[in-house]
């Protein structure tokens, strides 16, 4: 049985093949002109960092393969506004539907409700998806090293930079980190979640962070629940954190965001 990443990669390739026939490059380019320039994602993370804390990429996440349905009462635009009011520096919005119950419309609704830079959280297997992401308004894209070879990773990053977007290059182990550091993006994410077996351990960031050169911006991702977790990760030299589930499960998302950032 293929693991979840292989399953996702398989249906993404089929999905991209269909989408490319339905929408022309000319249409995408016109949409890109209409959405205006990308908001600086990496810059906002650096500017949002405070001493002994981390800037926040807050994730709009309805469901996941590891947890099932996370939030029933799901209004992407409202949640985006709560995150902005709570002090987030950037947003992450899932658009994958089969595994996360996300949608492109969630991305568009969330981004247009705020002024924050937004990353399209999608599983990229083809550079065409980068153009599509910019047409949706994305300010950054995700490159998951466990899912792409080095040539595709570089193509995705080049395409992102061509459109003025940042590329968050995500790793989970030392081999992926070594590959990632040879690429042209200076934005590195260490995912504390093993995407193949779903185990989560904040030690992953603690162990791998020392390999990240000081001219790179480090994001600690997944499994972050408390201000204590945030403090612990701030010691690693990370600049930012990516948080979904722990905020999505709260009734008052604005207050929960402030509490996590110790701004309440
Ligand atoms: O979240 C999952 O179950 C998952 C499964 C397979 C591939 C990716 C997955 N999640 C993507 C992420 O890494 C997280 O959404 C993100 O880092 C936020 O994590 P969390 O705060 O633990 O929701």
Q: Which of 6, 64, 79 to mutate to test the pocket of ligand 1 (most atoms within 8 A of CB)?
A: 64
State the CB neighbour count (10 A cutoff) for residue 54: 28
pTM: 0.97
How far apart (Å, rounded) are the C-alpha atoms in residues 84 and 243? 14
| Coarse DSSP helix, strand, coil percentages of the chain, rounded to the nearest 5 percent | 45, 15, 40
pLDDT > 70? residue 264: no
Q: At what angle do helices 4-22 and 128-136 cross, to 10 degrees?
A: 70
Interval between CA 39 and ligand 1 midpoint (Å): 24
Judged on CB neighbours under 10 Å (0-12, 13-18, 19+), 97 is: middle
Structure tokens at 171: 């790793």
Structural contact between residues 128 and 20, judged by C-beta atoms closer than 8 angstroms: yes
Interval between CA 207 and ligand 1 midpoint (Å): 19
pLDDT > 60? residue 257: yes
How many domains would you assign to the chain?
1
Structural contact between residues 127 and 155, judged by C-beta atoms closer than 8 angstroms: yes
Interval between CA 62 and ligand 1 midpoint (Å): 11
Give the single-character DSSP code of 39.
P
Give CA torsion, residues 183, 189, 193, 197, to 10 deg.
Answer: -10
Alpha-carbon torsion (210, 213, 217, 222), positive or negative: negative
List, chain by chain if needed, residues with CB within 6 Å of any ligand 1 atom: 4, 59, 61, 64-66, 191, 193, 195, 198, 221-224, 242-246
For the stretch 16-54, pLDDT in tens is 999 999 999 999 999 999 999 999 999 999 999 999 999
Interval between CA 154 and ligand 1 midpoint (Å): 23
pLDDT of residue 263: 78
pLDDT > 80? residue 2: no
Q: Whose CA is nearest to atom 19 of ligand 1?
A: 222
Interval between CA 201 and ligand 1 midpoint (Å): 13
Q: Which of 193, 200, 247 to mutate to test the pocket of ligand 1 (most atoms within 8 A of CB)?
A: 193
Supply the CATH number for residue 38's domain. Answer: 3.20.20.70
Nearby residues of 34 by Cβ (< 8 Å), 6 or more positions away: none
pLDDT of residue 196: 87
- What is the pLDDT averaged over residues 113-134? 98
Using the CB atoms, write b or e for 200-223: b if 16+ within 10 Å.
eebebbbebbebbeeebbbbbbbb
**Mean of the per-residue pLDDT values for the chain?**
97
Interval between CA 193 and ligand 1 midpoint (Å): 7
Nearby residues of 149 by Cβ (< 8 Å), 6 or more positions away: none
pLDDT > 60? residue 1: no
3-state class (DSSP) for residue 200: strand
Give the single-character DSSP code of 193.
B
For the stretch 170-204, pLDDT in tens is 999 999 999 999 999 999 999 999 998 999 999 99
Q: How confident is the model at residue 82 (pLDDT cuts 50, 70, 90)?
A: very high
| Domain limits for position 154 | 4-260
């Amino acid at each position: 049985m293929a693991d979840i990443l292989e399953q996702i990669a398989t249906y993404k390739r089929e999905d991209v093949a269909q989408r490319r026939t339905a929408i022309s490059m000319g249409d995408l380019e016109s949409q890109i002109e209409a959405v205006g320039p990308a908001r600086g994602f990496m810059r906002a993370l650096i500017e949002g960092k405070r001493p002994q804390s981390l800037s926040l990429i807050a994730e709009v996440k309805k469901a996941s393969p590891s947890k099932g349905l996370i939030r029933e009462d799901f209004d992407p635009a409202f949640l985006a506004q709560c995150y902005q009011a709570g002090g987030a520096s950037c947003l992450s919005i899932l658009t994958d539907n089969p595994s996360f119950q996300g949608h492109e419309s969630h991305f568009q609704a969330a981004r247009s409700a705020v002024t924050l830079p937004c990353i399209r959280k999608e599983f990229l297997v083809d550079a065409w998806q980068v153009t599509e992401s910019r047409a949706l308004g994305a300010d950054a894209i995700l490159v998951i090293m466990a899912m792409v070879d080095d040539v595709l990773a570089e193509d995705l990053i080049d395409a992102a930079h061509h459109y003025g977007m940042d590329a968050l290059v995500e790793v989970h182990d030392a081999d992926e980190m070594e590959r990632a550091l040879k690429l042209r993006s200076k934005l590195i994410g260490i995912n504390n979640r093993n995407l193949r077996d779903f185990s989560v351990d904040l030690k992953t960031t603690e162990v791998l962070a020392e390999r990240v050169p000081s001219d790179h911006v480090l994001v600690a991702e997944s499994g972050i629940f408390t201000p204590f977790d945030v403090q612990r990760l701030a010691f690693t030299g990370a600049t930012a954190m990516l948080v979904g589930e722990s905020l999505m499960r709260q009734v008052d998302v604005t207050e929960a965001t402030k509490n996590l950032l110790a701004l309440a």
